Amino acid sequence: MSGGTYVEPSFERDTTYITDRITVDGAGDGSGDGPWPVEAGRYRLVVARACPWANRAIIVRRLLGLEEAISMGICGPTHDADSWTFDLDPGGVDPVLGIPRIKDAYDKRFPGYPRGITVPAIVDVPTGVVVTNDFPQLTLDLSTQWREHHREGAPDLYPQALRSEIDEVNRWVYTEVNNGVYRCGFAGTQSAYDAAYERLFTALDRLEARLLNQRYLVGDTITEADVRLFTTLARFDAVYHGHFKCNRTKLNEMPVLWAYARDLFTTPGFGDTTDFVHIKSHYYEVHRDINPTGVVPAGPDLSGWAQPHGREALGGRPFGDGAPPGPPPAGERVPTAHNPHVGDDGLVHT
């Protein structure tokens, strides 16, 4: 999860990341140690399914069909104050990087790395050093720099003609919604919470209005903007409504956003990357300042995610001129026990 600090009276996120980029020419933005050229098989994307920021990268990688070009290491849902760990792997060691925690890749490049050890992160496999954890730029580069390795039929998630609108939508969705739920959850005073609560639901009402007569946030196909909003919506009822006190209404009580979220959930790449068990485990077990007992609630009932959404009536083409991805690789499938809508083939079934 991207770094954040609890600061009285309100939550402020640490937004200083390693801004190196992996680019076609390897030049990146000129600020890093590179060069980091696009090269199939060279890099490993390290994620945690619990984390909404990492979940974005999982979704984009899957939609674009980059599984063979960029391998993926999956951390467990919980971590200590030090680092995310590879406790899902045999012996608690990532089989490609040979390390027990992602912090090792940070420290190998920056000894004593002073900032948050976050996911998603991309690691250079030959050297074992972290390349970047700049999660907003990371997914854009997967779309724009890795085109040579996209699957046949991959969507254009960041079309040139819509980039300015996508960027604008992403800015306020990040500020008001993606980060807005954290502003509520980690508010240190009543007044800070009240302001954050009002701000969040004002934004959600704005999204209800925006999506009433259009299927997707920008244009008539799925874009980066939809990916970024979805990962917050997928966690809303399971975590944010109760744990973060975002409790004016549940997602399933906001008819437009609920239908929009179900539309995406049943689209290959979205629901089949959503691990509700990991999501709940992370927030309720790690955030002991909010939930001191670490008890993970049994609810809520998540069976409604695969119900018909009716959004097809608005038109739109999820993948534009392309096609949906096939089943995820066997080793990357979300267990059915963690998401009741995922079948043995790794896909969501309605």
Which of 106, 158, 182, 260 is labelled catalytic? 182
Helices 52-64 and 135-144, axial angle in degrees (round to 10): 0
If you search the block for the tokens 């975590």, which residue do you land on?
A: 239
Residues 6+ apart with CB under 8 A from 292: none
Active-site residue 51, yes or no? Answer: yes
Our CA angle for 168, 158, 135, nearest 5°, is 75
Which tokens is 17 given? 């990341």
Distance between CA 85 and CA 92 in Å, rounded?
7
The residue type found at 304 is G
Distance of CA 301 to the CA centre of its chain: 22
139 to each of 61, 64, 108, how far by Cα in Å? 8, 11, 24
Beta bridge mates, 234? none
20-47: burial string, b at 16+ Cβ within 10 Å, e else: bbbbeeeebeeebebebebeeebbbbbb
What is the three-class DSSP state of 132? Answer: strand
Active-site residue 43, yes or no? Answer: no
* Sheet of strand 43-48: strand arrangement: 71-75, 43-48, 121-124, 129-132
Residues 6+ apart with CB under 8 A from 153: 319, 322, 323, 324
Which of 51, 75, 184, 246 is labelled catalytic? 51
Active-site annotation, residues: 51, 182
